[in-house]
């Protein structure tokens, strides 16, 4: 099973230009809101037509602008779960699933198949309920059961958890994972939530203002993002423009300091450092920055300390360094303090634009 997508579409404000391949795995499409993730899924499903490109699923061409192939969504066998689940409000749970089963041509042991499906999604007993009478979790289970009833070759999930509060979200996430483990084909998972993606997906494709970046394993995105956009999406908080200095080190322009970052890749223009990798130290040493504390903010389980490196222009967007410490470690730090912080060379991520 494999899916290969290479499509372009003009969306007015920006151009969608996405290219990726996926095997039998859960591939995440990660991007900020409105970056074209959902549009990509709709193009694959066939409900929206790309301007140009090619979509191939298991060797069958679903869309090819050059050969003028554009299969209707009904013939693509691609399951798409919408954020609002899109259950037919005028039909009961059973009718919702039964209409799809009937169309999929599994009418032989219809009853048997239906009750089996309902049981495996824990929705037996809800046959006669209308979607509006169900909780969010039940609606999602019904929607997933309905998608599996259609016999999809791949499953695409469009922000399935983002409309839910945090406790319910965790419950549904576990159920989703249980379901995805039993599904043999490709799964595409669209989200802007990096935590969700880290837990659920194996590979990730970052989409930045409509343009996709190369697919990489999820771990790599969080340990070693290579672009500014993917570093931002992975939750990295500190950035500085950077250029190579003469002595093999780099100059962090926004922080007005020189740092050793190991290898500074060709084409890199920025460095990024995660907030919890920065530690205060007693005295100046290799890779330390002299800073003034400009603000101390109490977070739920940690303390956020905003630092301004000595000599940095505080009007610049990226001049401040954000350091996150445990409450105990930050207890003695006050606004206005001068201190040194250490940034390990291995924690500095060179980033291309």
State the residues that interact with other proteins by CB under 8 A.
42, 45-47, 72-74, 76-80, 82, 84-86, 88-91, 99-100, 103-104, 131-132, 134-139, 143, 146-147, 149-150, 163-165, 167-168, 171
Query: Residue 241 CB, nearest distance to other proteins (Å)?
Result: 42
In this complex, which beta carbon is closest to other proteins, that of residue 190 or of residue 305?
A: 190
Query: Residue 194 CB, nearest distance to other proteins (Å)?
Result: 23
In this complex, which beta carbon is closest to other proteins, that of residue 83 or of residue 202?
A: 83
| Distance of alpha carbon 294 from alpha carbon 68, whole angstroms | 60
Query: Residue 325 CB, nearest distance to other proteins (Å)?
Result: 35
Taking the CA atoms of residue 286, residue 306, residue 223 and residue 33 in that order, the dihedral angle to the nearest 10 degrees is: -150
- Given a contact cutoff of 8 angstroms between Cβ atoms, the answer to whether 212 and 225 are in contact is no
Q: Give 6: exposed, middle or buried? Use CB within 10 Å, 0-12, 13-18, 19+.
A: middle
3-state secondary structure of 266: coil
| Distance of alpha carbon 349 from alpha carbon 283, whole angstroms | 24
| Distance of alpha carbon 209 from alpha carbon 129, whole angstroms | 41
Tokens 């080190």 label which residue? 249
| Crossing angle of helices 93-103 and 136-149, rounded to 10° | 20
At residue 112, what are phi and psi to the nearest 5 degrees?
Answer: -60, -50
In this complex, which beta carbon is closest to other proteins, that of residue 100 or of residue 271?
A: 100
Looking only at the bridges linking them, the beta strands covering 303-309 and 288-298 are antiparallel
Closest by alpha carbon to 79, among 160, 146, 179, 161?
146
* Segments in 1-63 forming alpha helices (H): 37-45
In this complex, which beta carbon is closest to other proteins, that of residue 116 or of residue 135?
A: 135
In this complex, which beta carbon is closest to other proteins, that of residue 84 or of residue 297?
A: 84
For 140-179, give the DSSP string. Answer: HHHHHHHHHHT--SEEEEESTTTTS-HHHHHHHHHHHHHH
Query: Residue 86 CB, nearest distance to other proteins (Å)?
Result: 4
In this complex, which beta carbon is closest to other proteins, that of residue 166 or of residue 332?
A: 166
In this complex, which beta carbon is closest to other proteins, that of residue 20 or of residue 85?
A: 85
In this complex, which beta carbon is closest to other proteins, that of residue 88 or of residue 111?
A: 88
Query: Residue 38 CB, nearest distance to other proteins (Å)?
Result: 10
């Amino acid at each position: 099973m494999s899916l290969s997508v290479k499509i372009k579409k003009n969306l007015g404000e920006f151009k969608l230009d996405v290219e990726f391949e996926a095997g039998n795995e859960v591939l995440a499409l990660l991007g900020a809101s409105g970056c074209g993730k959902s549009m990509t899924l709709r193009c694959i499903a066939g409900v929206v037509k790309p301007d140009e490109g090619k979509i191939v699923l298991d060797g069958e061409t679903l869309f090819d602008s050059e050969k003028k192939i554009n299969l209707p969504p009904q013939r693509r066998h691609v399951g798409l779960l919408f954020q609002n689940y899109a259950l037919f409000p005028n039909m009961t749970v059973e009718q919702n699933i039964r209409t799809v089963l009937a169309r999929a041509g599994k009418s032989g042991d219809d009853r048997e198949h239906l009750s089996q499906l309902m049981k495996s999604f824990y929705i037996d007993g809800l046959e006669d309920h209308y979607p509006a009478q169900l909780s969010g979790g039940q609606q999602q289970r019904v929607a997933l059961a309905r998608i599996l009833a259609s016999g999809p070759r791949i499953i695409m999930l469009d922000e399935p958890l983002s409309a839910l509060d945090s406790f319910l979200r965790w419950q549904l996430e576990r159920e989703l994972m249980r379901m995805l483990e039993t599904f043999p084909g490709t799964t595409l998972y669209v989200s802007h939530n990096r935590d969700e993606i880290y837990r659920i997906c194996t590979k990730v494709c970052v989409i930045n203002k409509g343009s996709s970046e190369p697919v990489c394993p999820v771990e790599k995105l969080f340990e070693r993002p290579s672009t500014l956009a993917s570093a931002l999406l992975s939750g990295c908080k500190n950035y500085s423009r950077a250029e190579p200095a003469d002595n093999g080190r780099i100059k962090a322009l926004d922080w007005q300091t020189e740092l050793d970052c190991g290898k500074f890749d060709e084409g890199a223009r920025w460095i990024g450092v995660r907030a919890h990798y920065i530690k205060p130290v007693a005295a100046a040493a290799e890779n330390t920055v002299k800073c003034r504390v400009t603000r101390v903010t109490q977070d739920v389980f940690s303390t956020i300390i905003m630092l301004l490196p000595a000599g940095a222009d505080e009007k610049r967007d990226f001049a401040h360094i954000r350091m996150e410490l445990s409450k105990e470690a930050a207890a003695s730090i006050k606004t206005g303090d001068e201190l040194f912080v250490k940034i390990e060379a291995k924690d500095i991520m060179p980033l291309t634009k």
